[in-house]
Amino acid sequence: MRFLLVLLVVVSGLLGGRVAGATDRSRPALVSSSPSPDSALVHLTAAQVYSPAMQGLDVRWRYQPGQPPGWARPATSDLGWLLTDPNFLVGQEPSGWRGTGCFRLRFTLDSALLGQALGLAMLQQGASEIYLDGQLLGSFGTVGTSAQTTRGLEPRYLLLPFLLRTTEPHLLAVRYARFGAWPPPHGGFSLHVAPAVRLQAERVRVMRLRSLHLVNLTGTGVLALLHFFLFLFYRPRRANLYFSLYAGMLTATSLLVYFRATEMDVALLMGLQLGFEVATLLNTILLLAFLYSVCEGYLPWRWLALVLGLRAVQVGLWLWHPASQAQEWPRQPLLLAIFVLPWVDMLRVLGRALWRRQSGIGLVTLGVLSTILVQVFATYDVFHLWPPGSSLAHALTMQFGFLLLPVCMSVYLARDFAATRRHLEVQLRQVEQLSAQTLAQETERRELVSAQNERLETTVQARTKEISRQNHTLATQRDEITAQADLLRALDQEKT
C-alpha cells in the first residue's frame, strides 16, 4: 500500500513538472514590437507549402490597434505600423491592444504555385475578417467593438481557398477581435498555407477521428441502462445503482467531449467546458462511492462530501480564472493535490480489498490503473509520446483506455451476480433436499399414525364385541335369575 502511495506521488510530480515544460514549449517566442521597413514580408515556396507541416505565416506582421482607415487596401502605407507576432498569448497582447486590431502581411510565391488551388488554415479563438489584395476572402465569427458585439469562432473544420496568377507581392490583411481571457493560453491567431485539397482532406480526417468519441459514449450508455435495470429488478444490490449513475455520468461526459471537439462557437465552447468540469467532478465522487460500496460495504458520506467540496472549489477557481488544469498545476500545486487525492484513496481502498483477497476485485483495480495510465500517457502526454496533431492511435488509446474501467466494473458486477446466483442455487438445492427429507418424515409419521389408528380401531372393535358378548351373557343370567325369583315367589304364595 505504501508503494502505491509513493508511486502516485512520483507520478503526480512528473505530471506537474512535465506538463509545465510542455506548456512552456508550446508558447511561441514573442518578438518585440518595433518598426522595421524590411519585415512583414514572406515568400511562399512550393516545397514548404506542399510539405506535411505546411508553410506557416509565423513572421512579424504589421499591426495597428483598433480599425485604422484603409487597413485592408494594398495602397495604404503601413510603414509606421508596429511589427509584432499575431500569435500572442493571453496577458501578453501587443502594444495598444484593446480587444481589436488590424494585421497586414505581404507575401510572394513561387511560380510553381501560380494557378494552384491553395488554402489558408487559421487557428484562432476570436473573430476575424481576412482580406487578400483588398478583396474579402472570408470571415470567421463576428468582429465587433466589444465583448457583447463580438462572436468568437474556432474554425477547426473551415478553410479559405484562394488562387493567384502573379508572383508579385500580395497583401494579406486581417482584422482580429478577441475580448476576454478564455480559452487560454493563446489570444491571437496563426495562419498556414497548404493545398486546398489536402487541407480539406485533413479536416475530414480529423472529423472522423473526433467521431470516435461516440464509441465511449455508446459503450457507457449501454452499460448504464443495463445495470440500472438490474438494480430495479434487485434493489438490495445497490452497487448496480452506483455503477449505473457513474456510467451515465461518463456518457454525459463523453457527449460533452464530443460536442467540445466538434463545436466551433467560442461562447458555447466555454459552456461545454464548464459542463465537462462539473461532470468530471461527479464522475470522481460516483466512482469513489462504487468502490467503497463493493470493497468496504458502506459509504463514507463525510469523506465523499469533503472530496466533493474540494473538487467544487477547483471548479470555482476555474470559473474565476478559466484555464486548463495542466496549465494551472505547475503554478498551483494545491490544485494538483486536489486532483490526485481521490485517486490515492481509490488505490488505498482497492489495496485493502486485494489484501483481503476479495474475489474479482483485481478487475476493478486493472480498470482504475488503466485510467490513471491513460491520463498520464495520453490525456496529458507527460512523456511526449505522441506526435503533434490528431492521430488514430492516440484517439483509439484514449477511447478504449477510458472505456476499460467501466467494462471491468461491469464484468466484476456480472461475476458477482453469477457468484450470487450459484450461491442461491446451492441454497435452493439444500432447501429442496431439506424439503424432501421433511416430506419423507411427514409421510412416515402419517403412515405410523395411520397404522396406530388402525390397530387402535381394531382393538376397540374387539373390546366392543367382547363387552357386547359379556353384556349378552349377563343379561341371560339376569333373566334366568329373575325367572327363578318369580318362581320362588309364586311357590311362597301357594304355601301361604
Question: What is the residue-wise DSSP string for 28-72?
Answer: PPPPP----TT-SEEEE-HHHHTSTT-EE--SPEEEEES--TTTT
Computed from CA positions of residues 407, 409, 414, 418, in that sequence, does the dihedral angle turn out positive or negative? positive
82 has which bridge partners?
A: 63
Identify the H or E element spanning 287: helix 266-295
- Answer whether 312's CB lies under 8 Å from 284's CB: no
The closest of 163, 189, 161, 186 to 174, measured between CA atoms, is: 189
Q: What is the pLDDT of residue 23?
A: 36
Q: Would the pTM of this model clear 0.75, i.e. be above it?
A: yes
Q: Please list the residues that pair with 84 across neighbouring strands.
A: 61
d(CA 139, CA 176): 10
Cell of 59: 513572421
Size of the chain in residues: 496
What pLDDT is attached to residue 10?
A: 37
Q: Which helix (H) or strand (E) holds 453?
A: helix 392-495
pLDDT 10s per residue in the chain (496 long)?
443 333 433 334 434 433 333 333 333 333 333 333 444 789 999 999 999 889 999 899 999 999 999 999 999 999 899 999 999 988 889 999 999 999 999 999 999 999 999 999 999 999 999 999 999 999 999 999 999 999 999 999 999 999 999 988 999 999 999 998 777 778 899 999 999 999 999 999 999 999 998 999 999 999 999 999 999 988 888 999 999 999 999 999 999 999 999 999 999 998 999 999 999 999 999 999 999 999 999 999 999 999 999 989 888 887 777 766 555 555 677 878 888 899 999 999 999 999 999 989 999 999 999 999 998 888 888 788 888 777 889 899 999 999 999 999 999 999 988 888 888 888 888 998 998 898 888 888 888 888 888 888 888 888 888 888 888 888 888 888 888 887 777 777 777 6
Q: Could you give the C-alpha distances from 44 to 56, 108, 392, in angstroms and in order?
A: 9, 6, 30
Write the CA distances from 52 to 74, 110, 121, 146, 199, integer angstroms: 31, 18, 13, 38, 11
Contact 296, 349 (CB under 8 A): yes
Q: Which of 422, 295, 421 is nearest to 358 (CA)?
A: 295
